[in-house]
Amino acid sequence: MSIYFEEKSRTFHLTNGMISYIIKVLRNDHLGQLYFGKAVDHREDFDYLVEIVQRSMTIYAYPGDMKFAIEHLKQEYPAYGSGDYRQPAVRVIQKNGSAVTDFIYESHRVIDGKPKLEGLPATYCESDEEAQTLILTVRDSLTGVKIELLYTLFADRPVLARSARFVNEGADDVYLDEAMSLSLDLPDCDYEFMQLSGAWCRERYIYSTHLRPGIQSVESTRGASSHNHNPFVVLKRPHTTEDAGEAIGFSLVYSGNFIARAEVDHYDVTRVTMGINPLNFSWKLEPGESFQTPEAVMVYSANGLNAMSQVYHKLYQKRLARGYWRDRPRPILINNWEATYFDFTEEKLLSIARTAKDQGIEMFVLDDGWYGNRINDKSGLGDWYPNLNRLENGIVGLAERIEELGMKFGLWIEPEMVNFDSDLYRAHPDWVIQTPGRRMSHGRNQYVLDYGRKEVVDCIYEMLEKLLSEAKISYIKWDMNRSISEAFSGVLAADRQGEVMHRYILGVYDLYERLTSAFPQVLFESCASGGGRFDPGILYYAPQGWVSDDTDACERLKIQYGTTMCYPISCMGSHVSISPNHQVRRATPMKTRANVAYFGTFGYELDLNALPQEELDMVKDQVAFMKEYREVIQYGTFYRLASPFEGNIVCWMCVSEDQNVAVVGWYKILNGVNMPFSRVRLQGLDEKKSYCIDGGESYSGSELMHIGLITSDGSAGELVDGVIPSCDFDSRLYILKVDVDLPEGR
């Protein structure tokens, strides 16, 4: 890993043998972007990449010079206003109202390791050998605003992590109206823009469109990263597949309003910018103040989307997620939400827990409805103490009884919200986000606390700290069930109202940081009406997240498949629920519901006492199976093999680090009759090893990867007793275990 600086040509080359990133200080002292992609050999200059020519209708930088035009140059961190008409990375509003700045190179330094980003989640190193960081300083001399651009290159990953830190070293206030985490100019536009988009109950579907002139973007303005668009996009070549071709991933480690856009200019240059959404964002920087942008993580793959995803999986699993649970297989849990909703008593919960324990389930999670006056979704939010009318022994007593059964106890909270009908709201009606004189919109009868106010976060922290200290709680499900509207803070001055949304999310991070530090062994699972805030920012605090409120196995194929584009299996909350399913009324086999849920953290969300004995026996077997294979599934290398967005068959697999064990999940959406034979080419195996499939026949890794695994099912076979021996929503798991290393030459 090297970060070169060539003094004569003023060129920076960051390379680790996998990727190269090249920046040059241009003639006007701005930073130019020369290259990002597969590693290239170093040389003293890459000046041939700075192409300047005279063209009509161009604004030139220097009097008498008809060539040097910012508009034609690939910029590193472009500013608004001086002849670059594309979307900027930075826009600073000044005392006189001007938004024009001129950020010129001032200095740079290279440090070992990776600095922490104050108050923000970010990837990290465990030792200084793991990464190097280039800090490039540029300054606008008129305002005195300095920007430190941070580039962290990881030693053995094709990853570059970027962010920007602003410091006002001038004499006047300025306002940051646009402060992106990254900007990247690529020399052509032959890319597809891939995004993960959807809505509640159908999060993170994969969409790809070829770039065209103009801007394509995804964003959130809701106060959370949202169900609708994930802060993650990919630029991939049109021919790129899961296994071959170029792809560049862009992922923002942030949970609030974001934007990710690709702009193709009139010379087919593609500019990617990613960061805090500038819509209604404005951050006042008084003299001496600083502002740190969230981090954006770029991954380059020359070998397709699976390779790109695997880099994100490992990075986010090991160098974004933190703490006690980071490397541990996740407990198999039972959650009572779809079993009881608000209708439970302590005895009912305990009876579900007892049955769960008998099947080997490790943790019981009590969802919504245990606190304040929470009998339905109209009251109680904000009052984080138990409802003793419903739970006579409180949370302390219930947790104790669950522990006595030999299980761990987990609890649901939604700490960012209040209902009007709550003690907290009655005591502090001014703590909610509301605009004076305006209507207050609600979502699910609830209102959003102003987490930009420290006293609000302190108060919630105290309630939760008491709860977690008193009761034996091993897991917290942190929910968040509405978007922010009428954004305004009662404690901020008029010229700081553009800070509300970002301050809100900083408050959320602050509470997460305080709780996870005070209770390091508690496993946090994030949730936002399912996957409404499923992003890398939250993953820094909560190593797993509830992927979606849609628990139907067939729907989950798309949701989980899309989610794996960026996020590791170990962070994907997935449960077996009842059939017919509560969201779509679809009936699916018990086996398939588990076969889908295994590819996640795994648990159950149904009334086990309502299951016939035959299904309970299946639960027992499933739990035993997951205990044996969760390490491979959650921490192995994951491959997408057949996409639910493209066909009737879905397939994916996980391979252990040592390539000795693999678990393949195969799913068929609709059944057919007299269907073709089928096979799936596996991935990630050792060609030279022989794998025994489900304790039966053995095949070499090379056969399984190049010829394929035979997956033909009953729909491609003979009728049995006059009917097809397969069904809709069928599925299979294949367990591959190495039996022998193959002799040379076989």
Active site residues: 479, 549
Shortest distance, position 201 Cβ to ligand DGJ, whole Å: 10
- Residue whose CB is less far from ligand DGJ, 240 or 526: 526
Q: Please name which of 368, 394, 391, 390 lies closest in space to residue 379, comparing C-alpha atoms.
A: 368
CA dist., res. 493 & res. 76, Å (int): 34
Helix or strand run (H / E) with residue 33: strand 31-38
Counting Cβ atoms within 10 Å, is residue 718 exposed (0-12), middle (13-18) or buried (19+)? exposed
CA dist., res. 308 & res. 587, Å (int): 35
Identity of residue 601: T
Q: Please name which of 280, 303, 282, 304 lies closest in space to residue 223, comparing C-alpha atoms.
A: 280
- Residue whose CB is less far from ligand DGJ, 130 or 367: 367
Residue nearest to ligand DGJ (CB): 368
- Residue whose CB is less far from ligand DGJ, 148 or 605: 605
- Residue whose CB is less far from ligand DGJ, 509 or 546: 546
- Residue whose CB is less far from ligand DGJ, 426 or 444: 444
- What is the token pair recorded at 176? 């940051």
Which residue in the block uniquely carries the two structure tokens 């241009």? 26
- Residue whose CB is less far from ligand DGJ, 185 or 550: 550
- Residue whose CB is less far from ligand DGJ, 174 or 578: 578
- Residue whose CB is less far from ligand DGJ, 327 or 421: 421
Q: List, in order, residues 6 or more apart from 677 with CB less than 8 Å away.
A: 710, 712, 716
- Residue whose CB is less far from ligand DGJ, 481 or 560: 481
CA dist., res. 704 & res. 684, Å (int): 10
CA dist., res. 683 & res. 642, Å (int): 12
- Residue whose CB is less far from ligand DGJ, 425 or 546: 546
Shortest distance, position 128 Cβ to ligand DGJ, whole Å: 40
Which residue in the block uniquely carries the two structure tokens 């990727």? 19
Identity of residue 576: V
Identity of residue 289: E
- Residue whose CB is less far from ligand DGJ, 158 or 369: 369
CA dist., res. 29 & res. 105, Å (int): 5
CA dist., res. 620 & res. 109, Å (int): 58
Q: Please name which of 417, 489, 485 lies closest in space to residue 453, comparing C-alpha atoms.
A: 489
CA dist., res. 310 & res. 289, Å (int): 39
Shortest distance, position 479 Cβ to ligand DGJ, whole Å: 5
Counting Cβ atoms within 10 Å, is residue 693 exposed (0-12), middle (13-18) or buried (19+)? middle
Shortest distance, position 560 Cβ to ligand DGJ, whole Å: 16
- Taking each helix axis from N to C end, the angle separating 454-470 and 394-404, rounded to the nearest 10 degrees, works out to 40
Q: Indicate the SS3 state at residue 274.
A: strand
Shortest distance, position 362 Cβ to ligand DGJ, whole Å: 19
Shortest distance, position 420 Cβ to ligand DGJ, whole Å: 17
Q: Are strands 661-668 and 730-741 parallel, antiparallel or unpaired?
A: antiparallel
Positive or negative CA dihedral for 715, 582, 534, 365? negative
CA dist., res. 683 & res. 241, Å (int): 14
Shortest distance, position 227 Cβ to ligand DGJ, whole Å: 11
Rg (CA), the chain: 27
Q: Indicate the SS3 state at residue 500.
A: helix
Burial per residue of 611-634, b for 16 or more beta-carbon CB atoms within 10 angstroms, e otherwise: beeebeebbeebbebbeebbbbbb
Task: State phi, psi for 605 to the nearest 5 degrees.
Answer: -145, 70
- What is the token pair recorded at 485? 């509207």
Shortest distance, position 368 Cβ to ligand DGJ, whole Å: 3
- Residue whose CB is less far from ligand DGJ, 384 or 546: 546
- What is the token pair recorded at 576? 């077996």
Burial per residue of 503-513, b for 16 or more beta-carbon CB atoms within 10 angstroms, e otherwise: bbbbbbbbbbe
Which residues, listed in sequence order, are joined to residue 363 by a DSSP beta bridge? 333, 408
* Residue 48 neighbours by CB distance under 10 Å: 8
> Chain-centre distance of CA 359, in angstroms?
32
Residues forming contacts to ligand DGJ in the complex (CB under 6 A) are: 337, 367-368, 412, 479, 481, 527, 529-530, 546, 549
CA dist., res. 115 & res. 118, Å (int): 9
Helix or strand run (H / E) with residue 139: strand 131-140
